Structure 1
Amino acid sequence: MNAVATSSADVDAIAQVVAAVERAQQAKDAEGFLALFHPDALWTTAHGKVLIGLDAIAEFTRAVLPKDDWDGRVTYEVVHTQFLRPDVAAVKVRQVYHGPDGGSEGAPLYVMTKQDNGAWLLHANQNTPVQTD
């Protein structure tokens, strides 16, 4: 298997996008969250809802993110970045919702693409809850 050449600047830029996801989620900022997506993005929610395109993602996000039924305490951590090509990366994330009951955990996979301007955007994404027994 051949390794894909990557730069530390790209790794850092990807981590900054994940940090921006965290900030937008904590602030319940739907528009800030949506700004991180490619226009042709795909998103599968933790409950299996498939959203195709930014319009569908935006409609869902604007309906659920600003809800008052959670306090916004969530953290996101990049646990692995694998470059599929120099302009495509698979990013495994640890997502923890902190709550009075101890919270819950998710294991999103973000496939991100590097744009001509150098920005990395969320392109194909799957949010998966972590089951605890």
Structure 2
Amino acid sequence: MSTEMNETADIKAIHEVVATVERTQRARDVDGFLELFHPEALWTTGHGRVLIGLDAIAEFTRAVLPGAVFEGPVTYEPVHVQFLRPDVAAVKVRQVYRAPDGGSEGAPLYVMTKDEDGRWLLHASQNTEVKDH
């Protein structure tokens, strides 16, 4: 398989991970969300809380996600994928919370790694709120 074909398949798989983030957030599916993470992942929440390792991410997610209140649908759209190596990608995401009052927007950055089985996982992530100035 050519490098170009591999990259196309990888981009499709990365987009699917982002779609699964959206789906699991909307459904408040804790286990489905946690399956997306590398065991040694680093996650910084939209409010700046740093979570190191899957255990810390799981503890936070189990406490927060089931009771999360969304005033409308949330969407996640990958807007840029940059391969740092064939098995490491930086993924810029547009996250939009749509609410009756207009909602809000986030700009997460996901660093994803490809495991031995070819599965793309969230390895380091920074979720940043976009503020109008």
RMSD: 1.5
Q: Corresponding residue for 1:51?
A: 51
Output aligned runs, 1:1-133, within 5 Å: 7-71=7-71, 73-133=73-133
Q: Distance in 2 between matches of 1:75 and 1:30?
A: 17
Q: 8 Å contact 2:42–2:50 — kept in the other structure?
A: yes
Letter in 2 for 1:37: F
The two structures have a TM-score, normalised by structure 2, of 0.93
Q: Number of aligned residue pairs: give it.
A: 130
**Which deviates further from its counterpart, 6-15 or 34-43?**
6-15
- Stretches of structure 2 lacking an aligned partner (at least 5 in a row): none
Q: Which runs of 4+ in 1 moved over 3 A?
A: none
Q: 8 Å contact 1:75–1:97 — kept in the other structure?
A: yes
- Stretches of structure 1 lacking an aligned partner (at least 5 in a row): none
What is the CA distance between 1:132 and its match in structure 2? 1.2
Q: 8 Å contact 2:71–2:100 — kept in the other structure?
A: no
Letter in 2 for 1:24: T
Could you tell me the percent identity over the aligned residues?
71
Tell me the secondary structure at the aligned position of residue 61 of structure 2: helix
Q: Distance in 2 between matches of 1:68 and 1:130?
A: 20
Tell me the secondary structure at the aligned position of residue 116 of structure 2: coil
What is the CA distance between 1:70 and its match in structure 2? 2.2
Tell me the secondary structure at the aligned position of residue 93 of structure 1: strand
The two structures have a TM-score, normalised by structure 1, of 0.93
Q: Distance in 1 between matches of 2:61 and 2:93?
A: 19
Q: Distance in 2 between matches of 1:72 and 1:42?
A: 28
Q: 8 Å contact 1:26–1:72 — kept in the other structure?
A: no
Q: 8 Å contact 2:92–2:107 — kept in the other structure?
A: yes
Greater helix content? 2
Q: Distance in 2 between matches of 1:38 and 1:10?
A: 17
Q: 8 Å contact 1:74–1:96 — kept in the other structure?
A: yes
Per-residue CA distance 1:57-116 (angstroms, 9 max, x = gap): 001111111115325610000000000000000000000011111110000000000011
Q: 8 Å contact 2:72–2:100 — kept in the other structure?
A: no
Letter in 2 for 1:50: V
Letter in 2 for 1:69: V
